[in-house]
Amino acid sequence: MCNYRYTPKTKQMKELNQKLAVIQTKLKAKKSSYNSFGKYYFRKSEDILEAIKPFLIEQGVTVTINEEIIATDPVPTMQSTATISDGENAIHATALVGVDLNQKGMQTAQQFGAASTYGKKYALGNLLLIDDTEDADSGAKPSGAVDKIKQAAKPAITTDQLAKAIEYVASGGSIDAIKSKYKLTAGQEKNLNGKSQHDTTKA
């Protein structure tokens, strides 16, 4: 999820827009990291920051990134905001990412760090129009960590929603459709599967 907004303060806003357009058009951020398991190259936020540095003095702008926790339930959710400014005006782009606190092999600081890195990269990508379709989380490439982060961002299903989900599945609805919207426990998924099998046998 991303958001793109402007904070105009002077008539020079048009000039800042033009400077951003120049950077968006000319910027080339290489994918310097290699995933030996998936056998693909991917881009880090550091690659984008390194690529943009030559433009800062040339265009008379600065680029900064700020982060904040905007939600804690059902999972901690971080908002990363990338900002380009000429000292008077600013253009912002944001990205939201959930923190997977159940990710194995990671301490809490590492879990937040992984989400932070992910959020920074996409906030910068949104600001600078960087296409990451061939990146670590594209559909054609395996990325267990990214899948876990996306799964953690799904809301936990409530009691009322589960009751409606059971009715939905019993009437022939897809369990996968429920799982795409809500995070289910093993017991809840087993309950839905059992209802679906019962109805199929009954039919």
pLDDT 10s digits, 67-101: 999 998 888 999 999 999 999 999 999 999 988 88
Residue identified by tokens 């991303």 is 2
**pTM metric for this prediction:** 0.58
pLDDT by residue (tens digit) across 38-64? 677 778 888 999 999 999 999 999 999
User: For residues 47 and 32, is the Cβ–Cβ distance under 8 A?
Assistant: yes
User: For residues 69 and 76, is the Cβ–Cβ distance under 8 A?
Assistant: yes
